[in-house]
Structure 1
Amino acid sequence: MSVEQKIHKLALEYSQRLKKSIEFRLQEMQNDDRSHFLIYQVLGVSEQEGRLVDEYQNKGRFLYKYAGSFLEEAAKLCFLEKFPDARSIRIPNTQGSRPKTFEIDCLVDKNALEIKWRDATTDGDHITKEHTRIQAIVDAKYIPIRVMFYYPNRSQAIRIQQALETLYKGAGGKYFYNETAWKYIKDTTDINLLEILKKIAKENEHGV
Structure 2
Amino acid sequence: MRILITAGPTREYLDDVRYLSNASSGQMGYALARSAIQAGHEVALVSGPVALTPPEGCEIYPVETTDEMFKQCAKLFTDCDGVIGTAAVCDYRIKTRKPGKIAKTGEAITLELVETIDVLAELGTQKGDRWVMGFALESQDARFNAVRKLYSKKCDAIVLNSVSAIGSNENHVEVIDHSQKTVATYSGPKAQVADSLIAWIQKHIAAGQ
What is the TM-score when the length of structure 2 is the normalising length? 0.37
Q: Specify which structure has the higher proportion of strand.
A: 2
| Structure showing greater Rg | 1
Greater RCO structure (CA 8 Å; 6+ sep): 2
